[in-house]
Structure 1
């Protein structure tokens, strides 16, 4: 009985010591085991772990992606147009041991220190990157390359804090209020100049098209006239051949036909007055068979 009285406190102390030596690492966290302020273990995998009771201290850090909203800042692009930039970033703690050394704290206080120092890094990198490009590139919808340059530029300094910068986003890029009117006027002038350039190129293209069309018309008309003359020549040659054949077959009928053609062309409705000798051969076929002119 007396032994049991001494044994129970010992068992109780052992039980408490065992409970004090066990700790759980959450899957959303990483942990450091400190002994007299020095890191003796780094726990990155979730589950049960052990420590020396009463001597070791466990400090946990968030292993999830953390967002940081940066304060608005003014940047001056390469074309000297001031812009107000609003951005945010996402990061996570990669090296917890280095993170503790850089921040000198744990828990929420360490996150606050990390946010402050990372924001300073990102603000400096943002001014450097956006200051090397024109404001048109910053204000355009396609600015993913600029955000990637800011993220890449901050990676080196962030790694010294034990952090990995996952992403950087420009939420808004606005002009200062006092510059809006001047900027809009300049934009209108630029668009008007671009429109006039387009109209000038259109007029030039129209002139080229009209000149080409006129040349094509001349070529087509010339070709048509040449073909028409060829056809007319062939027709005249064929007609002359027919006349020649008719003349050889019946010379009197041929002369009669040619005389009728001469009468048709000479005796028009508005031109029927002829001054000729009545015995002229032109009237041979207008005379009656008795030798007198027709109508006498």
Structure 2
């Protein structure tokens, strides 16, 4: 009984020692085995690993791709139009030993503080370099600028054991104090463009109206000319018909013309005419019988 009581604590201690010497490395992380702050082993492959209980400890670091948002900063491109930009980066811990040596017990928080400072510095340097204007930053050329920021940041981040995979500019805005002036300038430019368009439209309308007026004058003139020609031809044809009819029977033609003259002149609404009864106008109204009255 005494022997059992003595063995059981030993077994518990052994089991506890074995359990404390085992640890599992997840596939999403890397681990360092430290002994009194010194790196004794690097565990980068997932699986079961061992350490000396109590003396050694395990520090784990995330092996996934991480993201970091930088605070908004104000930059001044070469055209002196200040902009407020903020960026984010994708990075991962590439060298876990160098990472531990660089940040110590500060871990990921300390690393992100230093990486954020690097990104801010390089963003200012690239966006404020010669030849980079605000138009360049706001255009599709910003992709090349982001590549330059990533490359310069990577050169500095290597000392931290980090690999900067990508850098993106999230927002690019004007400072608050410059917005009103910028909007006023944009409004003035749009109004000037609108005035130019209106002037060009008026000029085009004047050309169209002038062309239409000229076309109307030409058409009316042509129509009048053709009408005069047609009228002249009709008059000529009418006169030819009258001449032919007069030539066939001069007496009948004279009689017809007299009747037409009587019809037009002896209407009730005509003015009063005073003529001699012996006038040639009444030749066909006289009677050959004596004593007959003129009707």
- The TM-score, its normalising length taken from structure 2, stands at 0.67
Task: Quote the Cα distance in structure 1 between the aligned partners of 2:51 and 2:72.
Answer: 44
Aligned to 1:215: 214
Let me know the Cα RMSD of the aligned residues.
Answer: 4.7
Q: What are the within-5 Å matches in structure 2 for residues 9-88 of structure 1?
A: 13=14, 16-17=17-18, 20-25=21-26, 29-33=28-32, 36-37=38-39, 40-43=42-45, 48-54=46-52, 57-61=58-62, 63-76=64-77, 78=79, 80-81=80-81, 83-88=82-87
Aligned to 1:153: 148
Query: Is the aligned partner of 1:126 residue 2:127?
Result: yes
Alpha-carbon displacement from aligned partner over 1:87-114 (angstroms, at most 9, x marks no partner) = 2324232635497289544332222222
The structure whose Rg is larger is 2
Question: Does the 8 Å CA contact 2:70/2:116 hold for their aligned counterparts?
Answer: no
Aligned to 1:201: 200
Q: 1:145 to 1:34 in 2, by over 3 A?
A: farther
Q: 1:118 to 1:17 in 2, by over 3 A?
A: farther
- The TM-score, its normalising length taken from structure 1, stands at 0.67
Q: 1:130 to 1:50 in 2, by over 3 A?
A: farther
Alpha-carbon displacement from aligned partner over 1:153-194 (angstroms, at most 9, x marks no partner) = 32212333311125321163235x2x5665565445434433
How much has 1:75 moved relative to structure 2? 1.9
Q: What are the within-5 Å matches in structure 2 for residues 163-242 of structure 1?
A: 163-165=164-166, 167-170=168-171, 172-175=173-176, 177=177, 183=182, 186-187=185-186, 189-242=188-241
Task: Quote the Cα distance in structure 1 between the aligned partners of 2:39 and 2:221.
Answer: 104
Aligned residues: 275
SS in 2 for 1:145: coil
- Range that drifts further, 110-119 or 10-19: 10-19
Task: Quote the Cα distance in structure 1 between the aligned partners of 2:202 and 2:274.
Answer: 62
| Structure 2: stretches of 5+ with no match in the other structure | 158-162
Alpha-carbon displacement from aligned partner over 1:260-286 (angstroms, at most 9, x marks no partner) = 56678899988887999x766xx3656
Question: Does the 8 Å CA contact 2:68/2:112 hold for their aligned counterparts?
Answer: no
Question: Does the 8 Å CA contact 1:87/1:172 hold for their aligned counterparts?
Answer: no
